[in-house]
């Protein structure tokens, strides 16, 4: 496992995508401008013909290379109310006779990837074909600007159409500059252009001098209300701040399609552990962005999924702004289209993006002094002359995850009332509460408790916390109060610890626990060096339960996955038909049968020992290690 060979990736990098796009642009631009002094079509002027060709290439980019037909939905996605009947008819004919799905074949796409030295497979072929066709579409979009003042004044002729800056200015210059009288009575921003200088009209209907950073919080709040999003934990705002920083936090009227592309290309260059800070306040983002200051990401590249997540968040913001500040004067296309630059991700079973824990690694984990007996606060991973076992999130959260597969945030937000021990099959409930949200509705589930958790004293611990916190039935009382209480927000030296919930657990406990395990037995890692983490416990759970004898429905219920198929989703109501106890018993039997016992060597505690609240789950580094600075090295 540790010597897994590097498996060929099934997607293109941002640089490869850009190179293929530029190749498609150059190839088609040469054809689109070969006869620019005369109309390409018999009846259509240049602008009309290029509009149709651009739309045709965008349409075929959305279908497979061997598609026999183009469905109406795909066709109508490129046609809006601005299209005349003649244009629609000509586009339809163009797709039948001139621009077809085979305009770029799979073979041509693979050849283009090969010229770049990229991997040759189905995934890269599909991406390459799409990028080449998008380049063709862009060629016709730019060819329509051949007679613009910006292109003419450049003195570069057709070559000017390859210059993104010239093209950006050409699109912006769509009417004469406004007169000074037009702005009478308005306040002038310090950075506003002088009235004596030529002013380029904006492509937007309501051009705004506000900056992206000034509107992003309001836009996110509007989106949360409109879409029913859960309260942000800071991630969405952080992504918006990165976009503002990287793109120079320009005035909204100055943003264009090029900014989305620049952000996607640039953010991929940052290492995955980069410390961003807060825009204009702290960290790297306290000062203006400079490309030369980007650290090397060799061996620490950001995950394509993470980049796509950032682009998805920004796409929602862009769509919202397209109704106001980014509403175009002409047409209703999305100008700042972040999803145009998402990275295609295909799961490769031979090269997973996350490695599971193994039974041997988990046994090593639970052989640490924290579970066997060690020192007190910040000494929990070190042997002690007077060994003690203390119970808190550091002790219980990994154990619960091992036998239930819950994620870090789900486990951190468990409450006293989520546990029921006074029944035939003791269980816990994972549900949305005041502490945290759930990723999907399917994550709301009932989990039977594995006998190992009960033998280790989980019930006695929950009862001890309920007594300590003065819990009353129906109230919100976390079973790990040190992850949520203000009293535990500060360390002994008065310094704050990070955030709350799962993030606090990671900062004060998990990274030290994982590092200590790695020091004894190197953690499993992927081909690109990503080591098993807390979430890898879910991968472990799914892996050990995925036996041929285990029904998919049981596996889905255990993991909190949405069942597939009409029968599973609409008709399988076994708990209602035969009773919940029977279903819980069946699931528990599967867990006991399929899950390796990795905790039998943990000493059973007769008494529940609790540290003072502010000292709980602060485990410190193992002997000879410094997880805070050299995590898992």
- 241 CB burial (10 A radius; 0-12, 13-18, 19+): buried
In terms of pLDDT, which residue wins out, 189 or 400?
400
In terms of pLDDT, which residue wins out, 193 or 2?
2
Give exposure, 73-105, as e/b (b: 16+ Cβ within 10 Å).
ebbeebeeeebeeebeebbeebbeeebbbebbe
Q: Give CA separation, 220 vs 238, 314, 322, in Å.
A: 11, 10, 14
**Whether residue 525 has pLDDT greater than 70:** yes
The two tokens of residue 210 are 């506000």
CA atoms of 218 and 263, how far apart (whole Å): 21
pLDDT the model gives residue 455:
96
**Whether residue 8 has pLDDT greater than 70:** no
- Full DSSP string of 31-50: HHTTTTTS-SSSS--HHHHH
Give the model confidence (pLDDT) of 36-62 as tens digits.
544 444 344 456 788 888 888 988 888
**Whether residue 404 has pLDDT greater than 90:** yes
Place of tokens 């651009």: 54
Name the pLDDT band for 581 (thresholds 50, 70, 90).
confident
pLDDT the model gives residue 189:
34
Residue of 215, 204, 272, 209 whose CA lies nearest to 241? 215
List the single range of 89-98, 168-177, 343-352, 409-418 with lowest mean pLDDT.
Answer: 168-177
**Whether residue 362 has pLDDT greater than 60:** yes
Listed ranges 158-167, 229-238, 393-402; the one with the highest mean pLDDT: 393-402
Place of tokens 């200015």: 169
Q: Is the pTM of this model over 0.75?
A: no
Listed ranges 233-242, 388-397, 477-486, 574-583; the one with the highest mean pLDDT: 388-397
Give, in degrees to the nearest 5, the angle at Cα 597 between 595 and 599: 135
Decide: helix, strand or coil at residue 361.
Answer: helix
Residues comprising the chain, all counted: 633
Give the model confidence (pLDDT) of 184-204 as tens digits.
333 333 333 333 333 446 788
């Amino acid at each position: 496992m540790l010597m897994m060979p590097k498996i060929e990736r099934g997607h293109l990098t941002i640089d490869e995508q850009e190179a293929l796009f530029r190749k498609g642009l150059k190839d088609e631009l040469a054809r689109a401008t070969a006869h620019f002094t005369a109309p390409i079509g018999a009846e259509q002027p240049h602008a009309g013909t290029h509009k149709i060709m651009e739309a045709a290439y965008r349409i075929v980019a959305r279908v497979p290379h061997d598609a026999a037909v183009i469905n109406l939905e795909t066709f109508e996605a490129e046609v809006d109310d601005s299209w005349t009947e003649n244009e629609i008819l000509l586009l339809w004919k163009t797709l039948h006779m001139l621009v077809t799905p085979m305009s770029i074949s799979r073979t041509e796409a693979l050849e283009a990837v090969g010229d770049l030295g990229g991997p040759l497979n189905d995934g890269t072929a599909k991406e390459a074909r799409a990028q080449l066709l998008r380049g063709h579409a862009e060629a016709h979009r730019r060819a329509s600007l051949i007679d613009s003042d910006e292109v003419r004044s450049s003195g570069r002729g057709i070559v000017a159409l390859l210059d993104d800056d010239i093209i950006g200015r050409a699109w912006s210059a769509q009417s004469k500059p406004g007169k000074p009288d037009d702005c009478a009575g308005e306040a002038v921003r310090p950075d506003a252009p002088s009235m004596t200088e030529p002013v380029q009209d904006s492509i937007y209907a309501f051009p705004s001098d506000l900056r992206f950073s000034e509107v992003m919080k309001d836009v996110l709040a509007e989106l949360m209300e409109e879409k029913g999003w859960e309260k942000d934990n800071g991630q969405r705002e952080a992504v918006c701040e990165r976009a503002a920083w990287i793109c120079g936090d320009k005035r909204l009227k100055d943003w264009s399609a090029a900014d989305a592309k620049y952000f996607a290309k640039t953010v991929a260059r940052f290492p995955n552990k980069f410390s961003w800070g807060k825009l204009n306040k702290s960290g790297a983002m306290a000062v203006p962005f400079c490309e030369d200051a980007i650290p090397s990401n060799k061996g620490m590249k950001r995950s394509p999924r993470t980049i796509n997540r950032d682009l998805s968040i920004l796409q929602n913001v862009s769509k919202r702004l397209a109704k106001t500040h980014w509403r175009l004067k002409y047409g209703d296309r999305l100008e700042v289209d972040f999803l145009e630059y998402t990275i295609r991700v295909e799961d490769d079973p031979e090269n997973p993006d996350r490695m599971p824990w193994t039974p041997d690694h988990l046994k090593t984990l639970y052989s640490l002094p924290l579970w066997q007996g060690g020192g007190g606060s910040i000494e929990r991973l070190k042997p002690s002359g007077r060994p003690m076992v203390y119970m808190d999130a550091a002790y219980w959260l990994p154990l619960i995850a091992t036998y239930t597969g819950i994620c870090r945030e789900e486990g951190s937000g468990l409450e006293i009332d989520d546990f029921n021990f006074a029944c035939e099959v003791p269980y816990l409930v994972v549900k949305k509460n005041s502490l945290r949200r759930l990723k999907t509705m399917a994550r709301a589930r009932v989990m039977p408790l594995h006998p190992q958790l009960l033998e280790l004293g989980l019930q006695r611990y929950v009862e001890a916390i309920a007594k300590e916190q003065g819990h009353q039935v129906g109230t919100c009382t976390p079973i790990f109060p040190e992850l949520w209480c203000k009293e535990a927000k500060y360390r002994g030296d008065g310094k704050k610890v990070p955030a709350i919930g799962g993030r606090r657990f990671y900062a004060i406990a998990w990274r030290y626990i994982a590092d200590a395990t790695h020091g004894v037995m190197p953690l499993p890692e992927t081909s690109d060096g990503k080591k098993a983490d807390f979430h890898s416990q879910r991968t472990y759970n799914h892996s050990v339960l995925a036996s041929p004898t285990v029904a998919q429905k049981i596996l889905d219920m255990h993991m909190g996955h949405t069942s597939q198929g009409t029968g599973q989703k609409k008709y399988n109501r076994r708990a209602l038909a035969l009773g919940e106890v029977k279903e819980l018993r069946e699931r528990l039997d599967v867990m006991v049968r399929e899950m390796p016992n990795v905790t039998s060597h943990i000493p059973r505690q007769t008494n529940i020992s609790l540290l003072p609240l502010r000292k709980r789950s602060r485990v410190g580094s193992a002997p000879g290690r410094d997880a805070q600075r050299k995590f898992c090295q």
